[in-house]
Amino acid sequence: MPNNKNLICLLDYSPEEIRSLIASANALKQGRLRDDPQAMAGRSAVLIFEKPSLRTRITFETAIHEVGGHAINLAAGMVQMGRRESVEDVAQNLQRWVHLIVVRTYSHDTVVKIAASCSIPVINALTDAFHPCQALAFAQTVDENLGGEKKVKVVFVGDGNNVCASLMIVCARLGWDFVLACPAGYEPPPALLQACADAARDSSGSIDVTHDPVSAVADASWIYTDVWASMGQEAQQERRAKDFAGFQVNDALIARAPTEVLVSHCLPAHRGEEITSEVLDSSRSRALDEAENRLHAQKAVIVHLFS
């Protein structure tokens, strides 16, 4: 099993460690409520969510409960990290009372500071830079559907955002081919692209960026998309809608992909913008399966951190 103390970014995990977590998530899914290890029995976890959440909050609270723990939701307005009290002071206080900190916030530096300031496990439940839990749930969903295939090609159509970054990392670690099709200027940071390219080379995968979604999906195993304007970017919505006008995942784009191609979205979706309802609700969509797998993947992470 992985020996990492925290889950901050999947670049911190080796291919073997990620595969171990996926296998654990699959086992936990099969044995849910029957074979759940009580890894957090008698322990508490605090959830600090500075961004809105449906899937992340419900799946984490449920996961913590099902492995015997108690979840405490600490509203962002009560904490005011960095304003009422420093991030470091919050972390050092919390470690005296609880056993796990789950953080969903804007600045990735906030999660890094929390992890550096306390001795208990910390899980990144989303920052502006990364969304590792989503990527693990995606990898589990791919494994469920394409586990027997020798090669997987994932095409992310849209913004090079936090979800894109974490999917790119997990693909690089697992030896899958990953292509980002985005408008010019919306690529992930160059340093991250290079780190993923290096990791992909080691695992016999590949990382590519293109501005042509049609050519990108020609041999795709899986097409993925996300909102064009992430949380905190609402003021850019109008400009981004124009820039991404040719990057919608719709029937026309799907028609240029292999007939067996699958589709997903991290949700919530802006139907009619980055993806149409016809595609999202189609038989090829695995968005709800992936949303379900958030529970199992996160439970696998929790069990690992307390094993």
d(CA 298, CA 302): 6
Instruction: Tell me the C-alpha distance between 249 and 275, whole Å.
Output: 5
pLDDT tens per residue across span 194-250:
999 999 999 999 999 999 999 999 999 999 999 998 877 888 888 999 999 999 999
pLDDT of 1 over the 70 cut: no
Residue 83 has pLDDT above 80, yes or no: no
143 and 239 share one domain: yes
Structural domains in the chain (count): 2
> Are the beta carbons of 205 and 177 closer than 8 angstroms?
yes
Alpha-carbon 157 to chain mean position: 16
Residue 233 lies in a domain: yes
Considering the domain boundaries, does residue 1 fall inside one? no
Residue 3 lies inside a defined structural domain of this protein: no
pLDDT at 82: 67
Given a contact cutoff of 8 angstroms between Cβ atoms, the answer to whether 156 and 127 are in contact is: no
Range of the domain at 204: 134-291
Lowest mean pLDDT among 83-92, 127-136, 256-265: 83-92
The string of pLDDT tens digits covering residues 26-79 is 999 999 999 999 999 999 999 999 988 999 999 999 999 999 999 999 887 777
Please indicate, yes or no, whether residues 243 and 156 belong to a single structural domain of this protein.
Answer: yes
Q: Distance between CA atoms of 30 and 46, rounded to whole angstroms?
A: 27
> Is the domain of 107 the same as that of 256?
no
Whether 83 and 171 share a structural domain: no
* Residue type (1 letter), 257: A
* Pairwise CA distance, residues 270 & 290, whole Å: 17
Mean pLDDT along residues 92-96: 96
Give yes or no for residue 293 having a pLDDT over 90.
Answer: yes
Averaged pLDDT for residues 181-197: 98
14: domain CATH number?
A: 3.40.50.1370
Examine residue 27 and state whether it is found in any structural domain, yes or no: yes
| pLDDT average, residue stretch 148-154 | 86
Whole-number Å distance between alpha carbons of 201 and 217:
21
In a domain, 126, yes or no: yes
**Per-residue pLDDT for 80 more than 90?**
no
